[in-house]
A and B are shown apart, each in its own frame.
Chain A
Amino acid sequence: KNQVEQSPQSLIILEGKNCTLQCNYTVSPFSNLRWYKQDTGRGPVSLTIMTFSENTKSNGRYTATLDADTKQSSLHITASQLSDSASYICVVKGYSTLTFGKGTMLLVSP
């Protein structure tokens, strides 16, 4: 069964600090892995997409890594800002289907 597990479930950090969110998956076949940011009351917005051959991809202060051998991904947020407070969802694409994780709820505190 295709599954995407994210950790931690929730996280509180101080503004300006860095943090790392984790994603483990068992999806086969594997096509790509995406990280989405979902602000409260809004739909998810794509941050990064990585295929099998891509180990890292950055989008501003967001850097995603992928280890296709261990089926793990991480999303690193540098110098966090209050606007980073959101749910971060890891999504893995198989042949044509998407498997969503439950998300990590991040709260950046002033």
Chain B
Amino acid sequence: EAGVAQSPRYKIIEKRQSVAFWCNPISGHATLYWYQQILGQGPKLLIQFQNNGVVDDSQLPKDRFSAERLKGVDSTLKIQPAKLEDSAVYLCASSLVGPGEAKNIQYFGAGTRLSVL
């Protein structure tokens, strides 16, 4: 079974530039998550999709971050414009069942490491 695919693996940009990350979840997984993981910390949920609808984006800085999952499969996360504090690993995860299910297991991609200079 193929895992969660993310690209690019690494990205270096200057502050105020724009950047986009791509995620392809495991086939058949309805729920998709984007997390931000700052060095030395646990992942922080940015946005959660159920199919192509947003379930939770309460921690997404909407003035600069946006995400979409148009066809309920692939997803993109965009930052525009980037700030120094956005330097982090951006993890995408997917799960077969919804967030209300007790044992929905999340499968994570390897992440995209973003450095903002």
> Which A positions have Cβ atoms within 8 angstroms of B?
4, 31-32, 41-46, 49, 51, 89, 91, 93, 95-98, 100-103
Contacts and interface: CB of A to CB of B under 8 A. Distances in A.
B55 to A, nearest CB: 8
A102 B99 contact: no
Interface residues of B, number: 23
A98 B45 contact: yes
Contacts of B25: none
Interface of B: 4, 40-45, 55-56, 91, 93, 99-100, 102-103, 105-111, 113
B100 A46 contact: no
A102 B41 contact: yes
A102 B103 contact: no
Nearest to A6: B42
Given A42-B110, A43-B111, A89 B42 contact: yes
A44 B111 CA distance: 10
Contact of A96 (B100, B107, B108): B100
